[in-house]
Amino acid sequence: MLSVVATKIRTARDGSLNTSTVGRIYEGYLLSTPVVGRGMVLFRDPNGRRMVTTSVRRVLTTSDDAVLYVETENSVYRLRIRSSQPAAAIAG
């Protein structure tokens, strides 16, 4: 399980930065790294609230191992992987 901070940086359809959700920050947990062709599911709290994206088109890595860029059908997200936390802290 990966603890991440996801920031929506672009709307992929038109490249516009003028949408209300661009810049929005989502904190939560991914069960695994994003996979091309599948939706990315970010669990946002222990009560089961989650964010599900459209299918992932590509995943870009950087020289910083803790940062990934994920392009979905509708958006682009920057994922910053936080340092791992003990399982007890995740379970709440």
Quickly list DSSP for 35-83. Answer: -TTSEEEEE-STT--EEEEEEEEEEEE-SSTTEEEEEESSEEEEEEEPP
- Alpha-carbon span 2 to 57, nearest angstrom: 20
**What are 74-90's pLDDT values in tens digits?**
999 999 999 765 544 54
**Would you say 10 and 82 are in contact if contact means Cβ atoms under 8 Å apart?**
no
**Would you say 43 and 28 are in contact if contact means Cβ atoms under 8 Å apart?**
yes
- Reading the block at residue 12, the tokens are 């992929």
**What are 24-39's pLDDT values in tens digits?**
888 999 988 899 999 9
Average pLDDT, the chain: 84
